[in-house]
Amino acid sequence: MNIGEKIKRLRVKNSLTQEELADRCELTKGFISQVERDLTSPSIATLVDILDGLGTNLKDFFNETVEEKIVFTNEDIFESENDELKYNLKWLVPNAQKNSMEPVLIELEAGGRSKDDYPHEGEEFGYVIQGSIYLNIGNDKIRVKKGESFYFAVNSNHYIENAGKSKASVIWVSTPPTF
């Protein structure tokens, strides 16, 4: 952790000049400048005074919270192919199995299908981006076309299969994660 850099970020966030922070802490502007540039290190007592002037404390200052990633790119996607069942599965959010839901993109070649999924707690949602599919839930076979979506509670075996002669693409979200 770069203490000086973090102090400067907090000072700027609080719309304070170095001089204003120095006045609050009974220090000099020059000392604050040196601390922010890591040219000197404050004693614990002085650091406590600086943090008080910034409206925080030692515990919160040193608590390193990891920022949650919100946007994911192509570099984040994990991909798996199944030549036998003729599908390509892309996990759109890495490590989604630790979350409440797991979104994937599944691309089914003509004649392709997903693996059988068995009853589990939760729900599933899908949106057909390209082509058309059959959603097989228990003994029911439901056609879902491009631009349509499906949503169901998972209390039966289920899978999807390509209903057409060209590739089908589906965004499929499972809660809890099962893919």
Q: Under CATH, what is the fold of the domain 3-62?
A: 434 Repressor (Amino-terminal Domain) (1.10.260)
CB 144 within 8 A of CB 173: no
Q: Give the model's pLDDT for residue 29.
A: 96
Listed in order, the ranges of the chain carrying CATH 1.10.260.40 are 3-62
In the 8-state DSSP scheme, what is residue 142? Answer: E
Map residue 35 onto helix, strand or coil. Answer: helix
- In the predicted model, is pLDDT for residue 176 greater than 90? no
Percent of the chain with pLDDT over 70: 98
Query: What does the block give as tokens for 39?
Result: 């040219």
User: 99-158 pLDDT, tens per residue?
Assistant: 889 999 999 999 999 999 999 889 999 999 999 999 999 999 999 999 999 999 999 999
In the 8-state DSSP scheme, what is residue 99? Answer: S
User: 157-175 pLDDT, tens per residue?
Assistant: 999 999 999 999 999 999 9
Q: Give the model's pLDDT for residue 66.
A: 64
Percent of the chain with pLDDT over 90: 85
Listed in order, the ranges of the chain carrying CATH 2.60.120.10 are 74-175
Provide CB contacts within 8 A for 128, sequence distance 6+: 144, 145, 146, 147, 148, 149, 168, 169, 170
Alpha carbons 15 and 175: distance in angstroms, whole number? 43
Looking at every residue in the chain, the average pLDDT score rounds to 93
More confident of the two residues 157 and 94: 157
- In the predicted model, is pLDDT for residue 68 greater than 90? no
Alpha carbons 142 and 36: distance in angstroms, whole number? 64
In CATH, what class is 74-175? mainly beta
